[in-house]
Structure 1
Amino acid sequence: MDPSLQQVGQAVKRLQWHHHREANRRLAELGLSLAQWDVLRNLHEHPDASLHTLAQLTFQTDQSMGTLATRMIDRGLLVRVAGPGRAIRHRLTPEGEQAHRKGSLLMNEILDTTIGTLPPSDRATLYRLLNAANPTHADADAG
């Protein structure tokens, strides 16, 4: 019997919940939250991103991203730099790069216990199907 749409949605949510719970637990060992690591990851992938861009990439409001960025600047993980015109951009500090590397290793360990157990062809299929079902996927690629 094929699973219902709700069953598939619940399975996606359960896996996401597992990843978030484990990530928060393990990243706390580094003094990071999942939200902070997500900022580090996205800033590593999008150097000199604006606060607004970071908010979009990390699924936050501009206000909450501003508060988080300020805390991360205070911790020495990020710096603000002048961009074109009045724009303010953000960069990782050496400490931020190190936290990103350590956090990435932990995240890979977590994901390896779930998605990593799938054969590569199944992971590729899962990735393709999730992106195909996601109505905001094209927006994420453009950001």
Structure 2
Amino acid sequence: MAPELQSLGRAVKQAQYRQHRALDGRLAGVGTTLAQWDALRAISRSPGAHARSLAAATFQSEQAFGTLAGRLVAQGLVERRPGQGRRIEHHLTPAGEEILKAGHRIADEVLAECFAPLSEAERTTLLGLLHRLTEERPED
């Protein structure tokens, strides 16, 4: 018998919520939040990217990302530079790189704890299934 879809959706959301709460709590110890660390991670992956692409990468609206980036600039973690045309490029500062590295260590610890109940084979299967659910589908 197939699981009820709403129960399945809720279980996925609950796992994500627990993971995010654990990450946010531990990241506070290095002076950042999950949203800020995620933004630093996105900027690190795409140095010089503009707000629109960074907002998409962090699952935020462009306006929300702009506000967040402004806080990161004020904290000395991100630098904004003029780009092509009217675009503003985003780059990490050395302080931003340090927070990012600390966040990676924390994320590795938290995620190891979150997924500890699953075997390596189960984690591989789960990752494959989630990729199938999130892959781009052509429009009809």
TM-score by length of 2: 0.89
Alignment of 1:1-20 (within 5 A): 1-20=1-20
Aligned letter for 2:36?
A: Q
- Listed as ranges, the gaps of 5+ residues in structure 2 are none
1:121 positional shift: 2.6
More displaced stretch, 58-67 vs 96-105: 58-67
Where does residue 115 of structure 2 map in the other structure?
115
Where does residue 44 of structure 1 map in the other structure?
44
Where does residue 70 of structure 2 map in the other structure?
70
* In structure 2, distance between residues paired with 1:117 and 1:41: 27
* In structure 2, distance between residues paired with 1:117 and 1:19: 14
Count, aligned residues: 137
CA RMSD between the two structures: 1.6
Where does residue 97 of structure 2 map in the other structure?
97
Aligned letter for 1:32?
A: T
Where does residue 126 of structure 1 map in the other structure?
126
Please state whether the residue corresponding to 1:71 is helix, strand or coil. helix
Deviations 1:7-61, CA, capped at 9 Å, x for gaps: 2111111110101111111111111111101101111112111111111111111
1:138 aligns with 2:114: no
With over 3 angstroms needed to count, the CA separation of the structure-2 counterparts of 1:133 and 1:75, relative to structure 1, is same
* In structure 1, distance between residues paired with 2:49 and 2:127: 25
- Listed as ranges, the gaps of 5+ residues in structure 1 are none
TM-score by length of 1: 0.88
1:138 positional shift: 2.9
* In structure 2, distance between residues paired with 1:109 and 1:58: 21
Percent identical across equivalent pairs? 42
